[in-house]
Amino acid sequence: MIQFKSNMDTNTVEEIFSQIKSRQIAALMFHGQMADYFDFLSLHGYKRLHEYQYFDESATFRKTGRYYINHHGKLLPEAFDGDIRMIPDAWLTANRMSVGKSTKQKAVEDGFNQYHEWESDTKAVYERYAMKLRQMGHEADAIFVDGLVEDVDHELKCLDRIILDLISAGYDMVYIVESQKALHDKYKKMIKEIGR
């Protein structure tokens, strides 16, 4: 469950950047919880994917705060207001050994659908912020936000591939389990490149 909405009724650069930081906090909560979600299901490739996004987006979160302080000379107020709860309540008292095939299958489908919805919304929100900054005459700030749009666009491209393959395989558990090692190794390697 994601209870979070970016405020689109923003009129200053400060408000827009504060909203971006707030969305980045929600995204970190999302990816951190999704890493646990897939770890609990013993799907280590998907766990690594979300762990990679968690660390990569942590670096971007730091970059955003740094950018604002160094280009506007001011601190951004913390504005996070929302609730992110990706782990179903029933899992909190269960043991991963008792999770059956159909529960796993549905969890994979639900998890990826929510992931796709979150990133699509994020892309649309950042695109609108970049457009607004441009309209207000803040070109450099708009270029910074363009970079965020580019990041999420790339994330969506990789995500689309995974989802399309899952659809082609009919969310078959044998396919899902067999695809974990390659994903695990790919993201494990990519984690080492963050911040370089």
Site residues for Fe ion per CB under 5 A: 53
Structural Rg of the chain based on CA atoms: 18
DSSP 75: P
Q: How far apart are the first and last CA of the chain?
A: 33
Q: How far is the CB of 87 from Fe ion (least distance, A)?
A: 17
Q: Which residue is nearest to Fe ion (CB)?
A: 53
Residue environment code for 165-178, b if the CB has 16+ CB neighbours within 10 A, otherwise e = ebeeeeeeeeebee
Four-residue CA torsion sign, 109, 165, 30, 32: positive
Q: How far is the CB of 41 from Fe ion (least distance, A)?
A: 19
Q: To which residue do tokens 């796993």 refer?
A: 104
- Closer to Fe ion by CB, 10 or 53: give it: 53
Which of helix, strand or coil describes residue 79? Answer: coil
Q: How far is the CB of 112 from Fe ion (least distance, A)?
A: 13
Q: How far is the CB of 155 from Fe ion (least distance, A)?
A: 5
Four-residue CA torsion sign, 88, 90, 93, 98: negative
Q: How far is the CB of 21 from Fe ion (least distance, A)?
A: 15
Q: How far is the CB of 17 from Fe ion (least distance, A)?
A: 18
DSSP 78: P
Helix axes 139-168, 13-40, angle to 10 degrees: 20
As a whole number of angstroms, the distance between CA 115 and CA 106 comes to: 14
As a whole number of angstroms, the distance between CA 63 and CA 120 comes to: 22
